[in-house]
């Protein structure tokens, strides 16, 4: 674990005397307190993710009325008060061979990412715009619809900048994911799916978010392939801690056809394989009507 990232949950509160903030902006103290509250609800590091998932409330998705990225505070704020914004903290944690802007120990200008979502090795250079993104593992749109709509901005700012909910990943994979949950999007790299779902479960448990039935079932199917997969520590990067099996089964038990694609979505659902993602056993482009890479949602 690199020293560059300062755990949000241990952030020192800054005094606000002598300065004024817009009424709609949470104070640093308020964000720090929201982070402490999330820590109080966090599962123990190393606890089986399946056990934590079993404790999450299952409800329907709330409407996205009122959702806007700005509801989650300033983008990439320095909420842990270490002098570096969150984006650069995560880049410094997740890249290897990283280099910093001359005269700065914050601004990452280059490095190499072993992308957890695709399994590719990606060269990052600041300003290239199309190599590395910082992903909210529990997408902010998903968080809004599973409880965050009712929070104050301080708590929303905390989850948007929480190291547990952030990973440096392939730009195109992040854009493909959008605000999808585990029922409609999983990383192409099958060997990382258990760790990915365990991280989502840990974030949702920490902040008291719920899951939909489809989301719960998709998470459970993934975790069934890696019994004992632990939730990560609050400040863990993608490769920190136990990561489950090095290779997930290429075919979930009793779900894929012996050969060739499913005849239709009804057949995929009957086999317990829906939703399907491009490249999965049984996939057929004809079932992906909107061309988003996910069929039989």
pLDDT in tens, 115-125: 999 999 999 99
Q: What is the pLDDT at residue 269?
A: 63
Report the number of distinct structural domains present in the chain. Answer: 2
Residue 172 lies in a domain: yes
At residue 26, does pLDDT exceed 50?
yes
49 and 125 both lie in a single domain: yes
Q: What is the pLDDT at residue 68?
A: 94
137 and 270 both lie in a single domain: no
**Contacting residues for 48 by C-beta, under 8 A, at least 6 apart:** 227, 228, 229, 230, 231
296 and 229 both lie in a single domain: no
Which pTM was predicted?
Answer: 0.73
> 197 φ, ψ to 5°?
-65, -40
Tell me if 240 sits within 8 A of 251, measured CB to CB.
Answer: no
Q: Where are the alpha helices (DSSP H) in the chain?
A: 28-40, 49-55, 86-94, 140-145, 153-160, 171-177, 193-207, 213-224, 265-270
pLDDT in tens, 137-188: 999 999 999 999 999 999 999 999 999 999 999 999 999 999 999 999 999 9
User: Of 197, 210, 206, which Cα lies nearest the Cα of 158?
Assistant: 206
137 and 203 both lie in a single domain: yes
Q: What is the pLDDT at residue 270?
A: 59
Residue 176 lies in a domain: yes
148 and 291 both lie in a single domain: no
Q: Which of 210, 229, 249 is the last residue of a domain?
A: 249
**pLDDT bracket for residue 236 (50, 70, 90):** confident
Q: What is the pLDDT at residue 261?
A: 75
Q: What is the pLDDT at residue 10?
A: 40
Q: ∠ at Cα 179 (176, 184), nearest 5°? A: 70
Percent of all residues in the chain with a pLDDT value above 70, rounded to a whole number: 75
Domain coverage including residue 282: 252-297
At residue 104, does pLDDT exceed 80?
yes
92 and 118 both lie in a single domain: yes
235 and 183 both lie in a single domain: yes
Q: What is the pLDDT at residue 283?
A: 65
Residue 175 lies in a domain: yes
């Amino acid at each position: 674990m690199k020293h560059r990232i300062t755990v949000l949950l241990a952030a020192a509160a800054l005094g606000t005397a002598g300065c004024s903030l817009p009424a709609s902006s949470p104070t640093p103290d308020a964000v720090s307190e929201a982070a402490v509250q999330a820590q109080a609800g966090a599962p123990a590091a190393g606890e089986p993710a399946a056990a934590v998932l079993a404790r999450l409330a299952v409800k329907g998705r709330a409407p996205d009325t009122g959702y806007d990225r700005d509801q989650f505070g300033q983008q990439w704020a320095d909420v842990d008060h270490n002098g570096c914004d969150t984006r650069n903290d995560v880049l410094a944690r997740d890249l290897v061979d990283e280099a910093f802007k001359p005269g700065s120990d914050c601004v990452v200008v280059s490095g190499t990412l072993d992308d957890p979502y695709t399994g590719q090795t990606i060269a990052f250079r600041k300003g290239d715009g199309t190599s590395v993104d910082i992903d909210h593992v529990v997408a902010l749109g998903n968080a809004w619809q599973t409880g965050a709509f009712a929070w104050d901005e301080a708590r929303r700012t905390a989850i948007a900048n929480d190291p547990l909910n952030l990973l440096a990943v392939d730009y195109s994979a992040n854009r493909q994911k959008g605000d999808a949950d585990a029922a409609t999007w999983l990383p192409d790299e099958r060997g990382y799916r258990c760790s990915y779902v365990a991280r989502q479960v840990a974030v949702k448990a920490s902040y008291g978010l719920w899951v939909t039935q489809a989301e719960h079932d998709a998470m459970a199917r993934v975790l069934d392939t890696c019994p004992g997969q632990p939730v990560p520590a609050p400040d863990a990067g993608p490769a920190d801690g136990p990561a489950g099996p090095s290779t997930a089964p290429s075919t979930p038990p009793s779900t894929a056809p012996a050969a060739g694609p499913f005849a239709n979505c009804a057949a995929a659902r009957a086999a317990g394989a829906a939703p399907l993602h491009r490249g999965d056993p049984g996939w057929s482009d004809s079932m992906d009507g909107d061309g988003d890479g996910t069929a039989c949602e």
